[in-house]
Amino acid sequence: MNVVVIGAQWGDEGKGKIVDFLANDADVIIRYSGGANAGHTIVIGDNQYALHLVPSGILYPNKTVYLGTGMVIDPEALFKELAMLKEKGIDWEGRVFISDRAHIVLPRYRELDKQRDAQRKKPIGTTGRGIGITYSMKSDRDGIRLADLTWKDKMEELEQEDRDFLAPYTERLLSMKVNLTAEMYKLRSKHVLMEGAQGAMLDLDSGTYPYVSSGMSCSSGAAVGAGIGPRALDRVLGVFKAYSTRVGNGPMPTEFDEESQSELYKFVRDTGREYGVTTGRPRRCGYLDLVALRYACQTNSIDGLILTHLDIYDSLDEIEACVAYEIDGKEVTDFPASIEELNRAKPVLRKFSGWKTSLKNCKSYDEIHPAAKAYIDFIEKYTEVAVDIVSVGYDRKETIIRRNPWK
């Protein structure tokens, strides 16, 4: 069974925790897209792990993980991350493999990434990790894949600084390479968990272009990144927060007004720890955007939602969510492609009663306060997708399953 986990907003929805939680019942975990621009935080007791390239399932001692075909891999960042895991007692040797079709990020791509964004009249807000440049090189057919490290003619095309950079990593990378399609065929009767990066609204095709990532953060990217066909995907789970966040530039119709709503903005940002794992940048925060969430469900065939950060609202008297946009005097409930329309959009809000109690100690859905359940019920009706899992804290144990995705 192949289960896909994607972000259903603009990234930072808590995918790392959810993948780590679901990995307990998976045989292998595949990260299918993105690069070191992603940041997945996992909290287990007193230990916190910040992962950027390695799939979240690596924290289980008996799990095998794969860096997929759709990924772009910075060797320096990868081996630094693996060293961090080893220092923290995670024995990863023999359990981390890389698709031989994955592309390599070279150091000069990072500077090119920053330069290109700085030269734009309206910068996108890149992380400067060289991700966009690597994907551009891939599209231009000038990139270098893991499989190409033994191709003499291809290596000679690289600049000397690139070859010098790759030299100390080459043997280690090659020792981890696999034909992922062949591996997936062997695993066809196993439980395979596929982990996305960023979020559906940052997908190159269906996101808020051009303020998007360069990779495929949509659910169909899981098939490409795992080297299989789309009919082999059994379930698609979309992770979303009880509110909305975004990093970098681009439209966000439900963003709190930092002047008139500074107290609410600060409360959500600080209580939710809304600072980038990779960059440390403060995230933009706003009301839950149900228009965007329903669009993400429709474009990705999401058949199960996972709600995170619900506990952030525990102390509020009331909360609000966006159920439509007002654009040029008209009420709109379908997510527009036009950036100008999104920039003019004003959220149409619906109020919900707060629950004024801590949800962190809830062990089952029955224990969740009725007001919080009412909020969840409305989300389900609006999106027409069931909320299968509810997260009420950062730790693994603070997770409530309503429907097991493996069954």
Burial 12-24 (b: 16+ CB within 10 A, else e): bbbbbbbbbbbbe
Helix axes 107-119, 131-139, angle to 10 degrees: 100
310 annotated as belonging to a binding site for a ligand: yes
Does the annotation list 280 as a binding residue? yes
Integer Cα distance of 250 and 264 in angstroms: 21
Within a 13 Å sphere around the CA of 306, how many CA atoms are in the beta-carbon half?
A: 27
Rg of the chain taking only CA atoms, in angstroms: 21
Alpha carbon distance 135, 130 (integer Å): 9
* Neighbour tally for 111: CB within 10 Å: 12
- Look at residues 70, 211, 208 and name the one whose alpha carbon lies nearest to residue 145: 70
246 is in an annotated binding site: no
Which of 12, 100, 148, 289 is catalytic? The answer is 12
Q: Is 74 part of any known ligand binding site?
A: no
77 a known binding residue? no
Is 392 marked within a binding site? Answer: yes
- Residue 67: name the closest of 217, 215, 236, 225 by CA: 225
**Whole-angstrom Cα distance, residue 123 to residue 142?**
25
199 is in an annotated binding site: no
Is residue 40 annotated as part of the catalytic site, yes or no? yes
Is 103 a catalytic site residue? no
- At 172 the three-state DSSP class reads helix
The answer to the question of whether 41 is labelled as a binding residue is yes
Q: If DSSP states are collapsed to H, E and C, what string results for 40-53? A: EEEEECCEEEEECC
147 is annotated as contributing to ligand binding: no
Is 37 annotated in a binding site? The answer is: yes
Task: Flag whether 181 is marked binding.
Answer: no
Question: Does 70 count as an annotated binding residue?
Answer: no
**Integer Cα distance of 275 and 285 in angstroms:** 11
Q: Is 168 annotated as a binding residue?
A: no
Q: Which of 40, 52, 103, 191 is catalytic?
A: 40
Does the annotation list 13 as a binding residue? yes
Residue type, 322: C
Residue 12 in marked binding region? yes
Q: Is 17 labelled a binding residue?
A: yes
Which of the residues are catalytic? Answer: 12, 40
Detail the residues annotated as belonging to a binding site: 11-17, 37-41, 127, 141, 198, 277-283, 309-311, 391-393
Detail the residues annotated as belonging to a binding site for IMP: 12-15, 37-40, 127, 141, 198, 281
Detail the residues annotated as belonging to a binding site for GTP: 11-17, 39-41, 283, 309-311, 391-393
Detail the residues annotated as belonging to a binding site for substrate: 277-283
Detail the residues annotated as belonging to a binding site for Mg(2+): 12, 39
